[in-house]
Structure 1
């Protein structure tokens, strides 16, 4: 008996090896998933930090620099030393929070004197002078040398493009101060020409250093600029920047009596481990807190009494203000946190799909192994063996496979990195190991052998299916109610809901798809031939037995379709979101606070049209009843200019139709006030009268031109009007203002060179370029990493699904083969046998394709706020869903090819089936 048992085990070795492989896979997936997600988050977080600090430093320190005392000795040299020393101290741990991960590295320290007028052979020029610690060294000069401090004669160095554009030469003298800053009178000499090859940050951040700029002459592109005149345009000077020594800048500063600004740009660098630690919710909070502490500690170290006021600090020999700290990193951290919280949902779906398919494959493998030994087990039960004893013996047979699979899975998971969840891996391995003993026990227990009544089985099945449907509905409701728990890491409910929805879909399909199959069988019964009738009837009858195959197909298809849907939506939606944020081909935010820069931008080369938009933040109330409506956003657009620039603008069309003002500003309202109401609001010490003349449509509220004004703080109640009706409102009273720029020839470097370096107390505004935003969206690795992770999970799930389906077809093949063999004894030919096999398999596959595709397309809507793609795309509303039609067709065609292959193999095997296979009756799987 022992020899017989060992022989049987040897016969099951292929299936037991398959179970061991599946155990290893499930162990690796369960154990490595947390570490893999952390690693993915760390890489995406590090990439986001690099991207956030690419165009500008992530951390900026600055001081306002006053004129040095007249008796100061070598103030320029002392200032250069002080700028270097402060930069070194800012990099040290003594000036940063001890909890700050990574290190702050000084990008550069820069001092700029803006807008000194001069005359060159190419015409008038406005020259800004800069000292930068990251300026080219000796080897970076193609002609001459670097500037040195020289009293009375500032030395300057220019780029090769500036030399050619302004017709300069080494040794040429330039008279500085003609019509420029009051009091500046000096003669500068050109001593060097430097190369601007490569991708240095200095060239990207200071385009005027690379090449001079001459704006287009005439009034071209100036429709939206206030007071633009062609004569003035024609006399506009070249804009350029040159390098000089700090002593020269201080000498000119003393002549003009200006207050300048010294800035240290710094970047936060994290290694891989630090990025992983900081990517989570707790890590981001700690990083933000450390940045705040650093912003408080560094000014104290620089000038510890400055915070008390009235105390003068020193930078070199120059009196200065205290050290001021600004950082753009908190905004990037918050944005990453919101997006990563939603991104985990996509990765969780991929892992859930993989786990469900692997588990189904393990169950099918166990059932196939059971079928090979079922006759032996029944014989042993007849001789007195217990069902529990047989199950325990089966567990002992598969124990080596468990240990081997567990070891292999944990070894594979450990290669992912730190944070491996060994406990989860062990639980997954034990669960996979117990499948075969459990199915063995339930197959040979007394109730199974005695053929339990069909009514009792149907009752329990109905209860189980109802419970499963309720559980799936409850999971969806829970996710929609509370959203995801992104702050606590991977969400088990988020991973479980797709599996529950897959099971619920299978339950519905098993109940529903036999009905049309039976109707087709009835129609076939009225026709000649019995092949279609028998095939369709068996397909309908065997529907419950095909539940595992349906589950594998439905979950795999749903995961793949869902991934393609999300990837397509993000690709299209992020591009649309970028267009919405910019609002035009370019946008200058803060135009109302810097009208001179806005005027220059509107007349820049390549700009064909421009239009202004702005927002007032008011708290209106009903003029009659006094009822308050709370904080409301009053948006204004330059209607005429916007209609010229964007003829299809919905906002411009509705504001153009507003009635003429009768003393009150006509507005369109969305939320809050009703049509016909008169409102009043306090603004700048006077009352602003408003009249609601219509309802603001969704199309107008979602107009691209209003995109630059939309911020997370924007109130839900909106009013829209023409800016002409708000002429009496001062520019500094606008909460936000933007200048929209349109033109096919817009160049980013030209526009950026026109946003001047202003005085320390004036904001230069923010310039958004559509091409740059689209590039930034395309280069963002977060979405790409999430999509790649989900695709990898789905690809592995597809491989396992093929394995599971092949095993399931092997499991059900004997029953189909015996039916075909009996019919062959009645004269059934090969072609009719193939049709019979096809009709038995095709309904299940069609049901799976329809159900899986429908579930994948419905998942974003079912999950609701648990998967908010607006965090990735931006924009005024939900991004339109874009399904990957090609992927869906390929998956459906793949299922069809699988069925065709199975039919061909079974037909070929049927030719070799003898009469003995037909006469073996009494099988339970028949």
Structure 2
């Protein structure tokens, strides 16, 4: 058979096969690239949005002897070059040219007497010149000396941050004595402020930028700040009498990170830490401080969950697409059957017949696969092995299917076979294999639920195989049970007087073998589309719950100080404010144990009115002298709380979290009635008022909204990718299910058209012809759709313990997989609509058929 002639003779089927192949190869090659690109974007955002103190590699050195002390910038810069040379190759692309060096003392007291203690630490930053502006005085210069208590001590010129002037009483021109046993004088010559207070580098040096208040359990309040000195001051910076630490900060550039390189970066970080540890000597010790391994571990856990879910649905989408292409290939071989059978009867060998049919399939599928492969490069993302392998698998699978089908159809010339039997007795071997598949699938689902998450942070093959096994088991059970409703339908129709139901059900029974492949396609298509929709809805609902748990109210206004009553009233009367609940937070002391947990005093009744309609509940307190405590404080019947005043409370129960306030550690929830006066530093608000307006009403407050928290959760690239993938897969699988129905119609179109034309010569009307076609098609839809929908709704429950999707839902476990009716109804309606339209289209096409052609001499 000439291939161009075959393409022209079957142009419509050939075009359909080409289009389906292009789309399938585009999906299998393009979607993994976009998915990996989203993983890279999620990793880069995670690293760039995290504090620099967590992502950067910080080498700290603590000199133990004077021989280990450094006194010049050149010595520090030499150390920086040394650490950069030690970086493993996997880390070097991530470490940019930035970073800085610092030398600081810690807990250096000011020699003075007051109600509180001041600590002014000495600090040097290698890049201070570009990070601070001197707003008063001048930059520090060279140190000098002075006599103090009979000894010559250094006088170091320093500058202090603006905040230290107001909170600690430090100012330009002052000279303060530091130390207790070993003294150093500091002369304040300037006041500075940060050029960019939000710069990432300041997370390493928050002690320079701000005054820190420390409240010891058994001592007076302490105020700490770090003053800046010049390069010349390094000569006076020694470790005698104070704690001195050097830091070399190697800044990490998160924009260069790739999710594929995460395992190598983890191993490189561990190797660099080992290299740093062995560099220490007896005069100085070094260690590496970084939170990068913890960040990468958390990202790997989230990425593993995302990969598991997305590989599952994308693998199912690929399998369904491959099945639909196989349906199109079967349609093409069916259309060639008469030609090839005639050639076989005239003496062509089996090899020649199979070569002719498979060559035509390969000529159509091969270039189409290349086209889809080429189109995938228009999508962003790295080129993974699946990008090259996927289209090749499509070509090989489709051609192999065509070869197998041609071999079975033309093993002998003019081989007669029947495909109109309702049921064929299966062999014992086949029944045993199918029963084994079902048992293994059920056992695997049980073991998955019993085991839960693997805890390895890697891809779990067990988790990927169980859904495939469950789908295969459901398909086998469906195919095995398929004849029974057909038999019942035929028997019921035979008892009636109408001919159309009997004829339609009888044709459906006789074409059962033709419907096996559509069942195997529709079942995973429906189950995976419903699964994707259910998971998407579960993530969306949990994200909303997480946003409410984070904020605790539609709007939360928090102030570091007490909010005056007149300001509270101003907020209540503001346009758009509907409800306001007052709360006071702070640390309290427990009289019996001396512990200092956090406490929340709130009007729960008013809080419930603020949160009316929210998806979260609030705890109950039975009386004004009761309290709810965290698990860390559980086991106590009564507690004495020392807050604004001492009060004894009865512990009513244990709660895991106070929404909007505390979720771990030691905390307790008490009613506002325990407060001796109506203090409040937090307002829980419901209403239509902008955060900017609330910030204007309470200038020193921080405003959070539930909507902003939800938007922040949904803005994560990994979360957005999972949700978008679920939507795309749901739509694509639904479309493929409809295509499978259309191809099933086309596969039996010739025989169905002949039967309808023959019946029309006997008086069959157009309306009865449409009903006949519908009755022939509906068993496949009516049997497969409920099974597929039920399996899709059950898969989240089966996989739930093994997949941790909390990373996509604000940290809360996604446990609510209650599906809505929209997706199942839409899919069922779509399939039914496709069947109805197919029946109308087929009847319209059959109406054009010449009725005389239906009656031929010799036809049975």
TM over 0.5: yes
What is the DSSP-based 3-state SS (H/G/I as helix, E as strand, rest coil) of the residue aligned with 1:102? helix
Shift of 1:245: 2.1
What whole-Å deviation, never above 9, does each CA across 1:323-378 have from its counterpart, x for those lacking one?
22222222233333444444332232133213222221222112222232333344
From 437, 443, 462, the equivalent of 2:409 is 443
**What is aligned with 1:265?**
249
Q: Is the 8 A contact 2:142 2:233 kept in 1?
A: no
Alignment CA distance shift 1:922-1:382 (3 Å):
farther
CA distance in 2, matches of 1:842, 1:545: 14
From 327, 332, 335, the equivalent of 2:295 is 332
Matched, 1:361 2:324: yes
CA distance in 2, matches of 1:492, 1:368: 35
What whole-Å deviation, never above 9, does each CA across 1:887-921 have from its counterpart, x for those lacking one?
45544443344334324423433443431464369
From 664, 667, 678, the equivalent of 1:708 is 664
Matched, 1:86 2:71: no
What is the DSSP-based 3-state SS (H/G/I as helix, E as strand, rest coil) of the residue aligned with 1:460? coil
**What is aligned with 1:501?**
470
Shift of 1:809: 1.9
Alignment CA distance shift 1:419-1:251 (3 Å):
closer
RMSD value, Cα: 6.1
What is the DSSP-based 3-state SS (H/G/I as helix, E as strand, rest coil) of the residue aligned with 1:261? strand
**What is aligned with 2:399?**
433
What is the DSSP-based 3-state SS (H/G/I as helix, E as strand, rest coil) of the residue aligned with 2:385? coil
What is the DSSP-based 3-state SS (H/G/I as helix, E as strand, rest coil) of the residue aligned with 2:99? strand
Q: TM-score, normalised by structure 2?
A: 0.68
Alignment CA distance shift 1:475-1:525 (3 Å):
closer
Q: How does 1:459-474 map to 2 (within 5 A)?
A: 459-460=425-426, 464=430, 467-468=433-434, 470-471=436-437, 473-474=439-440
Q: Is the 8 A contact 2:324 2:739 kept in 1?
A: yes
Q: Is the 8 A contact 1:341 1:484 kept in 2?
A: no
Size of the aligned set, in residue pairs, is: 758
Q: How does 1:249-648 map to 2 (within 5 A)?
A: 257-269=241-253, 275=258, 277-279=260-262, 284=263, 286-298=264-276, 300-301=278-279, 303=280, 305-306=281-282, 312-313=283-284, 322-405=285-368, 407-408=370-371, 411=374, 417-420=382-385, 425-446=391-412, 449-451=415-417, 458-460=424-426, 464=430, 467-468=433-434, 470-471=436-437, 473-474=439-440, 477=443, 480=447, 498-512=467-481, 529-532=498-501, 534-535=503-504, 538-539=507-508, 542-573=511-542, 608-610=585-587, 647-648=619-620
Shift of 1:428: 4.0
**What is aligned with 2:568?**
none
**What is aligned with 2:54?**
56
Q: Is the 8 A contact 1:48 1:781 kept in 2?
A: no
What is the DSSP-based 3-state SS (H/G/I as helix, E as strand, rest coil) of the residue aligned with 1:449? coil
**What is aligned with 2:95?**
104
CA distance in 2, matches of 1:390, 1:572: 57
CA distance in 2, matches of 1:576, 1:114: 44
**What is aligned with 2:675?**
none
CA distance in 1, matches of 2:362, 2:55: 58
**What is aligned with 2:150?**
none
Shift of 1:608: 2.0
What is the DSSP-based 3-state SS (H/G/I as helix, E as strand, rest coil) of the residue aligned with 2:848? coil
CA distance in 1, matches of 2:168, 2:277: 44
What is the DSSP-based 3-state SS (H/G/I as helix, E as strand, rest coil) of the residue aligned with 1:439? helix
What whole-Å deviation, never above 9, does each CA across 1:398-420 have from its counterpart, x for those lacking one?
34335434544665677865553
CA distance in 2, matches of 1:213, 1:921: 103
CA distance in 2, matches of 1:832, 1:118: 105
**What is aligned with 1:156?**
159
Shift of 1:505: 2.5
Q: Is the 8 A contact 1:138 1:146 kept in 2?
A: no
CA distance in 1, matches of 2:470, 2:637: 57
Matched, 1:858 2:850: no
Shift of 1:384: 4.3
Which consecutive unaligned segments of at least 5 residues does structure 1 have? 216-221, 307-311, 314-321, 586-599, 617-635, 666-695, 711-720, 724-740, 751-768
Shift of 1:11: 0.7
Q: Is the 8 A contact 1:117 1:124 kept in 2?
A: yes
CA distance in 1, matches of 2:856, 2:463: 49
Shift of 1:442: 2.0
What is the DSSP-based 3-state SS (H/G/I as helix, E as strand, rest coil) of the residue aligned with 2:159? strand
CA distance in 1, matches of 2:313, 2:515: 24
Q: Is the 8 A contact 1:155 1:190 kept in 2?
A: yes
Q: How does 1:159-178 map to 2 (within 5 A)?
A: 162=163, 173=173
Which consecutive unaligned segments of at least 5 residues does structure 2 have? 145-154, 554-558, 565-582, 605-617, 622-626, 640-651, 670-679, 686-690, 696-704
Q: Is the 8 A contact 1:476 1:863 kept in 2?
A: no
Q: Is the 8 A contact 2:789 2:824 kept in 1?
A: yes
Q: How does 1:232-251 map to 2 (within 5 A)?
A: 244-246=228-230
CA distance in 2, matches of 1:923, 1:201: 86
**What is aligned with 1:11?**
9
Q: Is the 8 A contact 2:26 2:376 kept in 1?
A: yes
What is the DSSP-based 3-state SS (H/G/I as helix, E as strand, rest coil) of the residue aligned with 2:777? helix
What is the DSSP-based 3-state SS (H/G/I as helix, E as strand, rest coil) of the residue aligned with 1:56? helix
Bigger shift: residues 34-43 or 860-869: 34-43
Q: Is the 8 A contact 1:35 1:419 kept in 2?
A: yes
Shift of 1:500: 4.5
